[in-house]
Amino acid sequence: MVAQDPSRESRLVVSPGNIELGRGAVETLGEYATTYGRKVLLVASEEIYAIHGETVESVLDEAGVETVVYDEVRPDPTVENIESAHALYRDEDCDVIVTLGGGSSIDTGKGVGILATNDGEIRDFGVDVAGYEGVPNPTPPLVAVNTTTGTGSEATRSVVVSDESTSTKFLIVSKNVVPTVAIEDPELTLSLPQSHTAFTGIDALTHAVEAYVSVESWSVPDEFATSAIRRMSRALPKAWADGENVEARTETLIGQLQAGQAFTNSSVALVHGMARPLGAQLHIPHGLANGLLLPYVMEFSLMAAPEEYADIARAMGVADEDDPDREAAEAAVEGVYRLCEDITLTSYLDDHGTIPTREEYADVVGKMAQDAVDSGSPDNNPRKPTVEEIEELFLHVYDDALAPDAPRRS
């Protein structure tokens, strides 16, 4: 598989209009808010607002910006989250959206922006309904104040929404939802608990790996992806082991940003196609679902892209340039398994997820596999899976990682 050559055709590279990066970056929020409007809807979860809300509101207040707070964002935001936040935005006559948090807050803010400038319900803009680039009008100015080190949502044209009425997630993709500004302040990530350091970090690694091996890969996102893989594989264990390590936090913050820039300009693939239904059915956080699936999908796919997976192994530092590509590719799989073990990824299943019996799980595997295919993401995988192969992968993941007595949980 050869990365596409942009000299042969025009390619769109999307990115936030501005990126503020470094300690104290949050202090620039007021300047941006006053540039774009007079009244901000601040979107956050209750937990994140309790930690950082006072800081952000103080910056906005000093800039003379009025703030309206929506602090009911849930992990894996729902249709109802977006609708209620949009109602507040509309009723309070806001003109700027500021998100505080990670992917859940950012995706909620993007959803509010879609409804603010486009006719229809949020479900109408899913790629399965409207296709890619199915949002006609740009959102109002959106400033994403990032507090996690994983989703990269502040750099992407993607929105993932949970539809609780159907126990599914749907994806919206449009250049018209990319945030206007991304604020990346490592000091805001110091409060991230160890569990979510693990989830968001492995999420970022997954974004970078999938972007690099995707059939939509090309030179620009490839550079973002390899840099992100290098950073995340080295810094994530350090940030997980010592949450006060500002240098490691900064590296993971940059890594997840680059991973977001990688996959939004390339694509995600089979891991994400499977992670969405797995997370929806088992109530597993998105990053945890990605991390659980990643090594199995890599193992399944490496025969179709040994050179790319070998590059990933070398970026991770688990293979040398002289190693044959197939051996290096296999080392990449083992490297991911080892990284997941280092951050005790499967240990979080006790508190973050509802694991059914194998019989109950097997009953929904067919639906999950079909949902994965319907998402379109598996089409970007270097090895094209059948529905039956996806079902087998789901069952293998259960037996090896999800079941209470699974080898990876022992």
Residue 95: CB atoms within 10 A of its CB come to 16
Split at pLDDT 50, 70, 90, the class of 126 is very high
The model's pLDDT over 127-141, given as tens digits with 9 standing for 90+, comes to 989 998 999 999 999
Question: How far, in Å, CA of 140 to CA of 190, rounded?
Answer: 30
Torsion of CA 341, 258, 249, 81, to 10 degrees: -90
End-to-end CA distance of the chain: 38
Instruction: Please state the separation of Cα 119 from the chain's center in Å.
Output: 27
3-state class (DSSP) for residue 226: helix
| Pairing between β-strand 96-101 and β-strand 39-43 as defined by DSSP bridges | parallel
Give 124's Cβ-side CA count (13 Å radius).
9
- Residue 4: per-residue pLDDT: 55
pLDDT, residue 1, reads 47
The confidence band for 183, taking pLDDT boundaries of 50, 70 and 90, is very high
H/E segment holding residue 262:
helix 246-265
Structure tokens at 398: 């259960």
Which tens digits make up the pLDDT trace of 204-253? 999 999 999 999 999 999 999 999 999 999 999 999 999 999 999 999 99
Average pLDDT over residues 175-200: 95
- Cβ atoms of 275 and 293 closer than 8 Å: yes
Instruction: Say which range, 96-100, 301-305, 352-356, has the weakest mean pLDDT.
Output: 352-356
The one-letter code for the residue type at 245 is: N
Alpha-carbon gap, residue 94 to 89, rounded angstroms:
5
Q: Which two tokens stand for residue 375?
A: 């998402």
